[in-house]
Chains A and B, each alone.
Chain A
Amino acid sequence: MQNLIRPYFTVGLSEMREISVKPVLLTILLAQIILSVFFVAIGAIDDWMTSEPITWFVILALIPLSGIRLVILFSLSFRSRDRFMTDLILVRGISRLEYFVGKIVGIYVYFLAESLILLGAVAYFSKEFSAPEANDIELTGLLRAYIIVLAILGFGGSILSCLSASGLGTIKIPSIFFLMLCIAFPLMELAGSISVVPEAIFQSYGDIVRGVANLSLPLILLSLVSLVATVGAYRFFLRRDF
């Protein structure tokens, strides 16, 4: 049993170690921490921010900056010329499945833990300054906010991993990803499923956190697309020459 789990665990751990020491990613994490302090501080003086500090923090700081980190991370992840991967991991008896799963799980667990800590910290420190109707700092609200963060990061990560595993160049991956977003959002707006107007985004996210809107349908949809994209990424990765 230990031998079955060991490769995934070791790869996942080495991936988390890589993320935690990459200077660019660390700088963006620092920006997230500074912004979390900013949102706590500004909540004390701004009526609007006081009402929903987590929603503001998630939409303006956590998702965009974690998204940028994911884009950087995946643009470099499955490169043919990634010496770290080919010279260190795949040539040491680690199969492609073990490497792929270990890496993806390692990245996801890292972002899961980091988002939880940041959201928890913002909620904890905001409590004193928040208005009574700020339900996103209560446990159920916080949990809903956290789940939707995970679903969005998982969705973005799976699409990015698919692009990266297909063998696209380092510059092409973020370009195509943003192009996909630019096409997807207006189409979704046209279909009436979401509104990309900033006010509407805050409103709908707030509704989910407050428990007014139903979380299950978008969650199921995001999870399904993420699953398909991840399987696609693995299929690409399996066929790649390095």
Chain B
Amino acid sequence: MAVDLETLDFDQIAKAERRRGKGSWLIMGGALVMSAVWIVPFYYMIISIFKTTPEYAQKHPLALPDGVGPLIDNAVTAWNNAKMGAGLLNSFIYGSIGGALAIFIAALAAYGLTRFDFKGRNLWFMLIFSGTVFPFQMYLIPLFFTYQELGLLNTHLGMLIFYTAICIPFPVLVLRNYMNGLSREMDEAARMDGAREWTVFSRIILPNCLGPMTATFLLQFTWIWNDLLFSTVLANKTEVRSIMAALQVFQGSYSSFGPNVIMTAAIIASLPSLILFIFLRKHFMNGMRISNVG
């Protein structure tokens, strides 16, 4: 942009700049204090996993560790005692299969809701979306008893069924909005050429929805990965419980293991979501946006 230097009042600009500068020093100071409140706990967590239990007890909690060696011991202790292998595998199965199945079922429903003219379309949508309005507390007791009756308590299948169901309504909302925005010309043309509805859905609509499908999948995967409540209620056995349930039980035994070991377990439990976040930051941020404003 060209600026007409002749007409600019440099004294005025310098004065305004100085005033702005003073104000922003104050803001910077406040921002630094706040950043400390946000960073110190992370710093504390990261240095703690490099300490042995006696070292942790003797030293100031913010003191740097003597070396990085104890991490392996801590990780092995946490892994074996919290049965983290099983927890990680279970949560991975629940998150990937449950999440993917939910997104696929939601895409099917969104297609049905946007590509056909029939009465009561809104009612059908409301019926599906009403799965998000009730607090989780209302599901717990009935599901516990029904699962007990059906033999689904403490099974992988039972958890998958629940996680799939709870992850359907929100993606239906997102994908319905998205598919409504997709032009109908292409699918009308395909129908003219004699394509069946299934072909239109799988060949034309699905490939065009990969963006929002990825974003909502990541969101649902993270939700399942982070879930503590439903695993605690419906699957608390070592072989089927989620990683967060494993971590919570391990934490409950805080008297027998040092904070260094338990925080190592917490870090291991967070690694997958951290890795996902770092590599898929853009999709993730998209997901956050649609999940909270949409």
- On whether the two chains bind one another, the answer is no
